[in-house]
Amino acid sequence: SFRQYCSPQSLPLVSMPLTTGEFEVFRSCARNYRRKPITVRLKYLSALEEWILENLPVIRKALSDDLGKPAMESDLTEAYGVLGEIRHARSRLPEWMADQPVGTPLSMIGTRAWSCQEPKGVCLLIGPWNFPFLLMVGPLISALAAGNATILKPSEFAPATGRLLTQMVAAVFPADLVCVKEGDHTVSEQLLTLPFDHVFFTGSARVGKIVHAAAAQLNASVTLELGGQCPVIVCADANLEDAARKIVAAKFFNCGQACVAPDHVLVDARIFDPFLNILREQVTALFGDSQQIEQSPDYGRLIHRQHAERLHKLLNDALASGAVLRLGGISRPEQRFMAPTIITGTASSMRIRQEEIFGPILPVEPFESLETALLESGGQDIPLAVYAFTRSRTNLELIRDERRSGALLWNDCAVHFLHPGLPFGGRQGSGLGRAHGHAGFLTFSNQRSILKQRIGWTGIRLFYPPYSRLKRRLADLLLRWF
Ligand code: NAD
């Protein structure tokens, strides 16, 4: 039942299209699943956890095949990211699912009201290639916890992980509750013709717009987790070594292919030169010197040759337009390798400063005054996160007020992704809606309002026609005081 097609790396499977009839089977499964007690949801979450713990070596192998991910990186970012979400959801699910009573204002006297969370129904998850396991299974946990049937469309550029997801889902879930549809954009396009209740998309801003428009045709609600372009601001009072180590770790893990990776660094001009030296030292401390990095088991690879060539050109164009190479620069697109690279002297007119870099190139630029730097960058797209390194609360508050973003981190980069208590997501160009933990549960739930009224006399009846003078006076009292 599968046909094959060519991708840049290997031959991933393309699943058969989902027919309207098959979709209806999912819908009726969703109707059954929503009526099941909480123990059923908890059972699936536990079964998923168990499968992941038993299959860690297989997950590492798939991620190594797709992205050359070091085993430790797979465990900490992809497997633990998901396990942490499962445990967080399992322990809080009773609280999240409980009805929320609301108080009764005087104007509503005689009523009782509460809100409850109901599953949306059948949800579609479309994923990217950079964290192909985490970014498919993370939203799946929220969708399942909220009681939905779910269809996953992983990225065609991480075929080993796509296949692994298919195996995992077949082993853990009934086929009409969760299924995986592998293949390229044509598979997403076909799926987006079906009447899903919610579409959760993680990927580029360009495709996000296409998915948003398709979801509008379905009247489906939508979550968009899009591009990062996260700036780092290093103030003069920062601990330079601490800041440099954190920036290097967050920029160069997964070879810079993370939506939460630092995109560029703005550094107070007074500490620019010493900071640049420390930044270079930290690259060597974490990944070895430039001769060793290519052999280092701790440094990943770019996803495919086309992406490696894009980065190669981005770097060379910047250097040709006057940027200065400060570290690295070795790039072998045919091997999908690019060394950790630091450049300075970039201008905002250069492509490298306009596009999301999404690779191991780090532009570092000085600023004379924090206020001016913030003012100049304030007009840009809203990033997923802003990372501020400073000891001063005043600086932090200035950055918070002047630079909008989905998240603000004080003295670290990227780690908020792994905090299940924090809603995760962007604004405008970096996304729409929130994921993770309780926010993820709410994303996949409809908040339903329930109101119980008395039979017979009610407060509202005082205002039914005919409108007497007494009712007029009551209405005046209501307008003025209640
Ligand atoms: P992409 O947009 O190219 O692809 C994402 C998914 O969309 C894939 O499954 C792909 O098959 C599908 N797709 C492609 N064209 C489509 C179309 N016309 N209609 C419907 N579906 C289509 O993104 P990518 O290259 O896989 O991932 C990289 C991007 O994802 C970066 O911009 C990165 O910042 C972003 N990202 C964001 C987050 C986040 O949480 N905000 C996380 C990871 C990656």
The tens digit of pLDDT for each residue in 301-322 reads 999 999 999 999 999 999 999 9
Distance CA 69, CA 61 (A): 9
Q: What is the mean pLDDT of residues 69-79?
A: 96
pLDDT of residue 174: 94
Judge if the beta carbon of residue 115 lies within 6 A of ligand 1: no
- Grade residue 65 by pLDDT with cuts at 50, 70 and 90: very high
Which pTM was predicted?
A: 0.94
Distance (Å) from CA 432 to ligand 1 centroid: 14
pLDDT of residue 378: 67
Looking from the CA of residue 417, the nearest atom of ligand 1 is 40
Average pLDDT, the chain: 94
pLDDT of residue 381: 85
3-state DSSP call for residue 259? coil
pLDDT of residue 481: 87
Checking if the pLDDT of 348 tops 50, the result is: yes
Judge if the beta carbon of residue 45 lies within 6 A of ligand 1: no
Q: Where are the alpha helices (DSSP H) in 192-341?
A: 205-218, 240-252, 272-287, 290-293, 305-320
Looking from the CA of residue 192, the nearest atom of ligand 1 is 20
Residue 361 structure tokens: 């190139």
pLDDT of residue 149: 96
Burial group, residue 404, by CB count within 10 angstroms (0-12, 13-18, 19+) = middle
Q: What is the mean pLDDT of residues 77-89?
A: 97
Judge if the beta carbon of residue 227 lies within 6 A of ligand 1: yes
The percentage of residues in the chain with a pLDDT greater than 90, rounded to a whole number, is: 89
Judge if the beta carbon of residue 184 lies within 6 A of ligand 1: yes
The reply to whether 189 belongs to the active site is: no
Checking if the pLDDT of 13 tops 70, the result is: no
The tens digit of pLDDT for each residue in 421-475 reads 999 999 999 999 999 999 999 999 999 999 999 999 998 998 999 999 999 999 9
Taking alpha carbons only, the member of 219, 261, 207, 256 closest to residue 429 is: 207
The reply to whether 116 belongs to the active site is: no
Checking if the pLDDT of 77 tops 50, the result is: yes
Checking if the pLDDT of 218 tops 50, the result is: yes
Pocket test for ligand 1, best of 130, 217, 223, 428 (most atoms within 8 A of CB): 130
The tens digit of pLDDT for each residue in 247-297 reads 999 999 999 999 999 999 999 999 999 999 999 999 999 999 878 899 999
Looking from the CA of residue 426, the nearest atom of ligand 1 is 41
Judge if the beta carbon of residue 356 lies within 6 A of ligand 1: yes
Pocket test for ligand 1, best of 156, 157, 161, 188 (most atoms within 8 A of CB): 188
Checking if the pLDDT of 103 tops 60, the result is: yes
pLDDT of residue 191: 97
The tens digit of pLDDT for each residue in 115-169 reads 999 999 999 999 999 999 999 999 999 999 999 999 999 999 999 999 999 999 9
Pocket test for ligand 1, best of 126, 135, 151 (most atoms within 8 A of CB): 126
Judge if the beta carbon of residue 418 lies within 6 A of ligand 1: no
Distance (Å) from CA 109 to ligand 1 centroid: 50
Burial group, residue 371, by CB count within 10 angstroms (0-12, 13-18, 19+) = exposed
* From 225, 255, 356, 413, the catalytic residue: 225
Checking if the pLDDT of 391 tops 70, the result is: yes
What residues are paired with 332 via a beta bridge? 337
Distance CA 191, CA 126 (A): 10
Judge if the beta carbon of residue 228 lies within 6 A of ligand 1: yes
pLDDT of residue 17: 86
- Grade residue 376 by pLDDT with cuts at 50, 70 and 90: confident
Pocket test for ligand 1, best of 152, 165, 202 (most atoms within 8 A of CB): 202
Looking from the CA of residue 183, the nearest atom of ligand 1 is 11
Looking from the CA of residue 259, the nearest atom of ligand 1 is 34
Judge if the beta carbon of residue 383 lies within 6 A of ligand 1: no
Distance CA 318, CA 316 (A): 5
Judge if the beta carbon of residue 225 lies within 6 A of ligand 1: yes
Residue 332's contacts (CB-CB under 8 Å, 6 or more residues apart) are: 308, 338
* From 123, 230, 259, 413, the catalytic residue: 259
How many CB atoms lie under 10 A from the CB of residue 259? Answer: 30
Checking if the pLDDT of 373 tops 70, the result is: yes
Q: Where are the alpha helices (DSSP H) in 288-304?
A: 290-293
- Grade residue 222 by pLDDT with cuts at 50, 70 and 90: very high
